[in-house]
Amino acid sequence: MPPTPIYLDHAATTPVREAVFEAMRPFFGPRFGNPSSTHRWGREARAALDEARERVAKCLGARADEVCFTSGGTESDNLAILGVWREARTAGRNAVVTTAIEHKAILGAVHEAKAEGAEERIIEVDKTGIVSRDSWNSEVRDDVAIASVMWVNNEIGTIQPVPELASDAKSKGVVFHTDGVQAFGKVKIDAASQAFDLLSISGHKIGAPKGVGALFIRRGTKLHPLFHGGMQDRGRRPGTENVAYAVALATAAELTIAESAKECDRIRALRDRLEAAIVARVPDAVVHGRGAERAPHVLNVSVPGTDSESLLMALDLQGIAASGGSACSSGSISPSHVLTAIGVKPDLASAAIRMSLGSLSDDVCIDRVADVFPALVMKARQFAASG
Amino acid sequence: MSGGVDSSVAAALLVQQGYEVVGATMKLFCHGEDVPDRPCCSLDSVNDARRVCEQLGIPHYVINLETRFGEDVIDDFVAEYERGRTPIPCVRCNTFTKFRDLVKKADSIDARWIATGHYAQLVDGELHRGLDDDKDQTYFLWGVDRAVLSRMLLPVGSSTKAETRAIARKLGLSVVADKPESQEICFVPDGDYMKILRDRLAADSPALSRGPILTSDGMHIADHHGFAAYTIGQRRGLPGGFKRPMYVVSIVPEDRAVIIGPREELLGRGVVAREVNWLGDPPAAGMHVSVRIRHRARLAAGELIRVEQNEIEIALDEPVSAITPGQSIVLYDGSRVLGGAFIERAAGEALAPAENRRQSLPILAA
């Protein structure tokens, strides 16, 4: 009998919550209307959409008009970077500042801005992934259109001092964006007391379906839309709104916030236990981001003398789902740009295994991984040593 | 699993036979852009392999062997053309990539066997030609480490291609059943290998530079724009105006010269070959063998007249056309593959002596 599968890849995606699924259901049935229509069906849909927007806003400490629904984290990030830069360049702010450990959605958007004429500035990070304040201070000047720093790193879990960076940016008149996709529900996010201007979130990381996300856009922040068409979402995001998914995002966000404190404690305890067990049995295992403040759900570890590709295969064949560096479109693994940026040597970077915990993680599965992972590592090392 | 019909059916047959099968697709190169319908390595092919595995209910992984493949296969491919030879990358891929590097990956998941969709057969630890003579792929497999033979499974090797397609249809593997076949080199887009060379060699590389087209008695006929574009036996693209059809009969890289001649100048009575690999105990000189000097060429009879550690010489019973340095020579005893080697040069007196030829080319001093 194959062992019960263990899902340790919650940072990649999460299952849709039952309550979220139920909340969406009417919008695939009788409440199918287009929110822009003036008739009964339209009004009904519009009401649901507005309510969803208010609920998401509340979860972020924001006002409803500051929430723009998108297709997910990537679109939110692109809208923030390109939208703000295309607007600000005309006012003499041409530089875009970010870090080397951002998600590809940010780096890709920044590279696109560069291709269109932006000046790209990459801030240095230390070996745990925390932004260097010296580098920040020297790069974030009055010619910067937008600075973007990811709140919680998706690969190593490092938490950046976003509220301080945002305040500093504000004092220089620089628009500040943060990719909060991994941060939502893991750190305190409050647009009312924190100074960020834009923040991206994604539905499928918190129990909503893939294909929905939101961008918080602080009132007064000017940005150019990515799409052109109708006046939906104040013209910031033309296209008929995905009412069902907006409702799903709102429901998932509320549930996530409601359970946040307890759930964070729970998965932190599990993560710390797994980490301790691995380090105890494999003393030279390197835990990336260790030493910095880390989100509770991510454990990224490299064992010298192994490689991610083989280890992920071996884990998968044991029913354990984890991930390596960034999977490319073919599905093959290449060394992570994040680990490379924090100075991890190529050998070690290509051995990285990210295990990320969440709703499907419990004592039983953590104990089994704590058992299986070191055993597979030992075997992989024997092979490496023998040939 | 390349995403083609042969490896898909191979996997399906093994699943039927009760093996615990893990599908693997090797990622071998990246041109930075996707090439549709390209077997082996394009995204579409990976996706097809993944879908077949889903259908078969087995796991599928993409194994990144780009760096090793680049060094062992693509770099060598380029270097061979630079040396005026015509490389055969599939042999090196099988030797170094599939049946060495991929076997290591198999080790790491405790997989005892390594199976492919090759048309060749294993009988009692010996490698034999595939049943479908038209599809036989032993020409590409002679280089594998002898020790690996005992772990190889070649489930479609005793089928014809038509039978393999029929099995695919019967099993409902509609993704791959009627996929067209490619004879091209997987990492060469559109068969244009000169593009690879231009990308990887300096613009002033001799292999890509102007040089003379000469007859074997030294007559300067025309100029070419890089000897890498020529291969032994090639007729296309040569200057016309001769009474008889002319062929490339040799390439002299140190003179940047391409030598052309009539068909009979292509004939050779012997072969010297290097980088020898035996799939059993090395045969002794004097053994009568049949050989193949080019994929799909007819088998030729000959005698192994010299066997050294790293070089062999074969005397052919009848002259053979277009013995091409860089291609393989594979030696058979009946259907059994004895081993093979890379052709170094034609031997025997059928060709004009090389020294004379070069002395007769004063024009090349510049």
Q: Which residues of A touch B32 (CB under 8 A)?
A: none
Residue B183 has pLDDT above 80, yes or no: no
Q: Where does the pLDDT of residue B359 fall: very low under 50, low under 70, confident under 90, or very high at 90 and above?
A: very low
Dist CA B41 CA B34 (whole Å): 9
Q: What mean pLDDT comes out for the span A285-308?
A: 96
Residues of B in contact with A310 (CB under 8 A): 105, 108-109
Q: Average of pLDDT values for A322-346?
A: 80
pLDDT surpassing 50 at residue A100: yes
- Which of A342, A305, A348, A295 has its CA nearest to residue A324? A348
Q: Which chain B residues touch A332 with a CB distance below 8 Å?
A: 27, 62-64, 66
Tell me the residue type at A224.
H
Percent above pLDDT 70 for chain A: 97
* Chain A partners within 8 Å of B25 (Cβ): 330
- From the list A316, A330, A387, which residue is nearest B46 (CB)? A330
Please check whether residue B61 touches A, CB under 8 A.
Answer: yes
Q: Return the higher-pLDDT residue of B355 and B295.
A: B295
Among chain A residues, the shortest Cα distance to B22 is held by: A317
Task: Give the model confidence (pLDDT) of A104-133 as tens digits.
Answer: 999 999 999 999 999 999 999 999 999 999
- Selection from A172, A171, A189 nearest residue A180 by Cα: A189
Q: Which of B43, B61, B108 sits opposite A383 (nearest CB)?
A: B108
pLDDT of residue B356: 40
User: Residue A314: closest CA among chain B residues belongs to which residue?
Assistant: B109
pLDDT value for B185: 87
Q: Which residue on chain A is closest to B111 by alpha carbon? A: A314
- Chain A neighbors of B109, CB-CB under 8 A: 310, 313-314, 317
Mean pLDDT of B328-355: 83
Model confidence at B210, pLDDT cuts 50, 70, 90, reads: very high
State whether B62 and A331 contact (CB < 8 Å). Answer: yes
The pairing of beta strand B23-27 with beta strand B60-64:
parallel
Whether A387 sits inside 8 A of B64 (CB atoms) is no
- The DSSP line for A8-32 is -BTTT--PPPHHHHHHHGGGGTT--
* Mean predicted confidence (pLDDT) in B331-353: 84
* Predicted local confidence at residue B46, as pLDDT: 87
Whether the predicted pLDDT of A227 surpasses 80: yes
Give the best residue of B31, B109, B148 to mutate against chain A (max A CB count within 10 A): B109
- CB within 8 Å: A313 and B105: yes
Residues of B in contact with A376 (CB under 8 A): none
Give whole-number Cα distances, B180 to A164, B39, B131, B239, in Å: 60, 9, 21, 35
pLDDT tops 80 at residue A363: yes
In chain B, whose CA is at the least distance from the CA of A350? Answer: B64
Alpha-carbon separation of residue A119 from A84, B106, B124, B258 (angstroms): 14, 47, 66, 51
- Cα three-residue angle B170-B174-B178, rounded to 5 degrees: 95
pLDDT at B366: 31
Please report which confidence band the pLDDT of residue A143 belongs to, taking 50, 70 and 90 as the band edges.
very high
Q: How far apart are CA A324 and CA A154, in angstroms?
A: 12
pLDDT digits (tens, 9 = 90+) for B127-163: 999 888 889 999 999 999 999 999 999 999 999 999 9
**Cβ of residue B179 closer than 8 Å to a chain A Cβ:** no
d(CA A246, nearest CA chain B) in Å: 31
Mutate to test the interface with B, among A313, A379, A381 (most CBs of B within 10 A): A313
User: In chain A, positions 37-56, which contact chain B (CB-CB < 8 Å)?
Assistant: none
The model's confidence at residue A383, banded by pLDDT at 50, 70 and 90, is confident
pLDDT higher at B347 or A193: A193
Taking only the tens place, the pLDDT of each residue in A40-92 is: 999 999 999 999 999 999 999 999 999 999 999 999 999 999 999 999 998 88
Instruction: Inform me whether the pLDDT recorded for A3 exceeds 90.
Output: no
- Which of these, B97, B56, B61, lies nearest to A311 by C-alpha position? B61
Neighbours of B210 (CB within 10 A): 11
Q: For chain A, how big is the Rg over CA atoms in Å?
A: 21
Enter the tokens of residue B228. 């890498």
Of A329, A331, A383, the CB nearest to B107: A383
Q: What is the average pLDDT score of chain B?
A: 90
ipTM above 0.90, yes or no: no
B273: helix, strand or coil: strand
Residue of A nearest to B101 (CA): A387
The partner residue sitting opposite B109, judged by closest CB among A317, A333, A334, is A317
Which pLDDT score is estimated for A325? Answer: 64
End-to-end, the C-alpha distance of chain A in Å comes to 32
Does the structure show a pLDDT above 50 at B261? yes
CA distance A108 to chain B (A): 15
Pairing mode, strands B257-262 and B300-307 = unpaired
What residues 75-94 of chain A have any CB closer than 8 A to a CB of chain B?
none
Tokens for A344, please give them. 């991890």
Q: Say if residue B39's pLDDT is above 80.
A: no
Helix (H) or strand (E) holding A256: helix A243-281
Ramachandran region, residue A357 (left: φ > 0; alpha: ψ -120 to 50; beta: rest): beta
Contacts of residue A347 in chain B, CB cutoff 8 Å? none
A310, A323, A333, A334: best to mutate for the B interface, most B CBs within 10 A: A310
Banded model confidence at residue A4, pLDDT cuts 50, 70, 90: confident
Each residue's pLDDT tens digit, A366-382:
999 999 999 999 998 88
pLDDT of amino acid B193 = 93
Cα B137 from Cα B128, distance rounded (Å): 10
- Mean pLDDT score across all residues of chain A: 95
| High-pLDDT (> 70) share of chain B, % | 92
A316 touches chain B (CB under 8 A): yes
Cβ atoms A108, A120 nearer than 8 A:
no
> Could you give the CA distance from residue A4 to residue B142 in angstroms, rounded to a whole number?
43
Active site positions of B, annotated: 93, 186
Nearest to B313 by CA among B341, B294, B278: B341
Mean pLDDT of A121-146: 96
